[in-house]
C-alpha cells in the first residue's frame, strides 16, 4: 500500500510513528511485509495496518529459537523449583462499593506508538507501582514490537508484593509453561489468535499450573467463546488489534453482556480521571493501564490523577 505524500498521518486514521521512535525490528518487517505497512514522507513516518498477524508471525519465528535454546524439559524442571503463585484474580476483583482496581503495566514500546518511554527502567517503574499500592502489575514480555523480556518478571517480583501478569501473544502451550517457570502469576490469552478448542485447552493448562487467566476479547462473538469455555476473568480490549484504533465504547457495549461472577477488566485507551469514573460507574472491576503511565515523566503523579487522589 502506498500513501500519497500530501496526506497527513492523522488523515489516514491509522497508527503512525516516526522512524526514530519505531520498535527496533520495524524496518526489517516493512521490508518483508510491504502489504501491511506504508511509509509516509517527509519525515519517514511509518503507518501500520493489520499488525496483529504480523506480530504473531514474527513471534512464531522467535519462539522456535527459544524452544531450541531452552527445551520444555528444562522449563518443567524450573517449574518444579518454583514457589506458589500470587492470587492475581483476587487482587483485581472489585468488592461492592469500593474503588476500581488498577493493573499497572510495564511497557517500553508498542506498534502504535513506537518507543513510549525512552529512559525505560522496569525496576524503577515497579518500585513506583509498589509505592503507589497498585493492585497488580502487567509486564510486556514480547521482544520485537514491545521491547519486553520475560526475564523482567522474576526481577519485578523480587521487589514488589503485587501479583504479576505475563502480557504476550500466547499461541503455544510452551509459553504457558514458560510463564510459570519465570514466576508469572497470571497470563493473557487473546481470543483473536486462538481457536476455541485451543483457548479451552490453554485455560485448563494454566489453571492446573496455578496461573490466573485474563482472557482478552474485542467483540461479542469472542465474549460468547470466553463464556462457553468457562472463563472467569475477561479483559475487554478497547483497541482493535488489526487497526490499533481505540474506542472506550467497546467496554461500554460489551459490559452488559457479561454475567455476575465474571471479573471484567477494561484495557487500552484509559487516559483521564473522567475515563476511570465512567468505567467505574459501569461496574468494571479493574483497569489495565500502560501507555498513559509510560508516557509521562512522573508515573506516581499520573496514578494519583487517575485515582482522583489529592
**Active-site residue identified among 112, 138, 212, 268:** 268
Q: CA 193 to CA 58: how far, in whole Å? A: 13
Half-sphere exposure of 103 (CA within 13 A, CB side): 30
Alpha carbons 103 and 199: distance in angstroms, whole number: 23
- pLDDT for res 240: 86
Query: What's the rounded Cα separation, in Å, for the pair 101 and 56?
Result: 30
- Examine the residue annotation and report whether 268 is marked as an active-site residue of this protein: yes
Pairing of strands 45-48, 16-18: antiparallel
Position 24 pLDDT exceeds 60 = no
Average pLDDT over residues 34-43: 33
Task: Report the candidate in 230, 228, 222, 274 with the shortest Cα–Cα distance to residue 250.
Answer: 222
Cα–Cα dist 91/134, whole Å: 10
16 closest CA partner among 143, 7, 247, 107: 7
Q: What is the DSSP letter of 246?
A: B
**What is the model's pLDDT at position 36?**
34
- Residue of 143, 147, 183, 216 marked catalytic: 216
At residue 18 the predicted structure's pLDDT band, cuts being 50, 70 and 90, is very low
**Active-site pick, 237, 238, 275, 291:** 237
User: Quick check: 73 pLDDT over 70?
Assistant: yes
Which residue in the list 59, 108, 167, 302 is annotated as catalytic?
A: 167
User: Is residue 14 pLDDT above 80, yes or no?
Assistant: no
Q: Out of 59, 105, 112, 142, which one is annotated catalytic?
A: 105
Omega before 251 within 30 of 0, i.e. cis = no
Indicate if the pLDDT at residue 241 is higher than 90.
Answer: no
The whole-number pLDDT of residue 93 equals: 98
What per-residue confidence (pLDDT) applies to 168?
98
What value does the mean pLDDT take over residues 260-284? 97
Q: Does residue 237 carry a catalytic annotation?
A: yes
pLDDT of residue 146: 96
Answer with the residue of higher pLDDT: 230 or 50: 230
At 102-154, the pLDDT tens digits run 999 999 999 888 999 999 999 999 999 999 999 999 999 999 999 999 999 99
Query: What whole-number percentage of the chain has pLDDT above 90?
Result: 78
Determine which one of 178, 183, 222, 267 is catalytic: 267
Note the pLDDT tens digit of each residue in 182-195.
999 999 999 999 99
Which of the residues 59, 107, 157, 302 is marked catalytic?
107
Residue 175: band (very low, low, confident or very high) from pLDDT cuts 50, 70, 90: very high
Please tell me the predicted confidence (pLDDT) of residue 243: 78
Residue 240 catalytic? no
Q: What is the domain partition of the chain in residue ranges? A: 9-49, 72-307
Structure letter (DSSP) for residue 113: T
- Per-residue confidence (pLDDT) for residue 193, from 0 to 100: 96
Which CATH superfamily groups domain 72-307?
Aldolase class I (3.20.20.70)
pLDDT value, residue 173: 98
128 contacts 159 by C-beta, under 8 angstroms:
no
Amino acid at each position: 500500500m502506498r500513501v500519497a505524500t500530501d496526506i497527513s498521518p492523522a488523515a489516514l486514521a491509522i497508527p503512525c510513528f516516526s522512524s526514530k521512535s519505531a520498535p527496533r525490528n520495524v524496518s526489517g518487517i516493512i521490508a518483508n511485509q510491504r502489504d501491511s505497512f506504508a511509509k509516509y514522507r517527509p519525515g519517514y513516518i511509518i503507518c501500520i495496518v493489520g499488525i496483529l498477524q504480523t506480530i504473531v508471525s514474527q513471534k512464531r519465528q522467535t519462539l522456535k529459537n527459544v524452544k531450541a535454546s531452552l527445551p520444555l524439559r528444562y522449563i518443567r524442571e524450573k517449574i518444579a523449583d518454583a514457589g506458589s503463585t500470587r492470587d492475581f484474580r483476587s487482587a483485581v476483583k472489585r468488592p461492592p462499593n469500593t474503588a476500581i482496581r488498577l493493573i499497572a503495566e510495564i511497557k517500553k514500546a508498542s506498534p502504535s506508538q513506537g518507543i513510549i518511554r525512552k529512559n525505560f527502567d522496569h525496576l524503577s517503574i515497579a518500585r513506583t507501582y509498589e509505592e503507589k499500592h497498585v493492585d497488580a502489575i502487567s509486564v510486556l514480555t514480547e521482544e520485537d514490537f514491545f521491547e519486553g523480556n520475560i526475564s523482567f518478571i522474576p526481577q519485578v517480583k523480587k521487589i514488589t508484593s503485587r501479583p504479576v501478569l505475563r502480557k504476550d501473544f500466547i499461541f503455544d502451550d510452551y509459553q504457558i509453561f514458560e510463564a510459570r517457570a519465570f514466576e508469572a502469576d497470571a497470563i493473557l490469552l487473546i481470543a483473536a489468535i486462538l481457536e476455541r478448542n485451543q483457548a479451552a485447552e490453554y485455560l485448563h493448562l494454566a489453571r492446573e499450573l496455578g496461573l490466573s487467566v485474563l482472557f482478552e476479547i474485542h467483540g461479542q462473538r469472542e465474549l460468547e467463546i470466553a463464556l462457553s469455555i468457562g472463563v472467569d476473568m475477561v479483559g475487554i480490549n478497547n483497541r482493535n488489534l488489526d487497526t490499533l484504533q481505540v474506542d472506550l465504547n467497546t467496554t461500554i457495549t460489551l459490559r452488559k453482556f457479561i454475567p455476575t461472577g465474571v471479573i471484567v477488566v477494561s484495557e487500552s485507551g484509559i487516559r483521564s480521571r473522567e475515563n476511570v469514573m465512567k468505567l467505574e460507574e459501569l461496574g468494571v472491576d479493574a483497569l489495565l493501564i500502560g501507555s498513559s503511565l509510560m508516557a509521562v515523566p512522573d508515573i506516581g503523579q499520573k496514578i494519583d490523577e487517575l485515582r482522583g487522589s489529592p
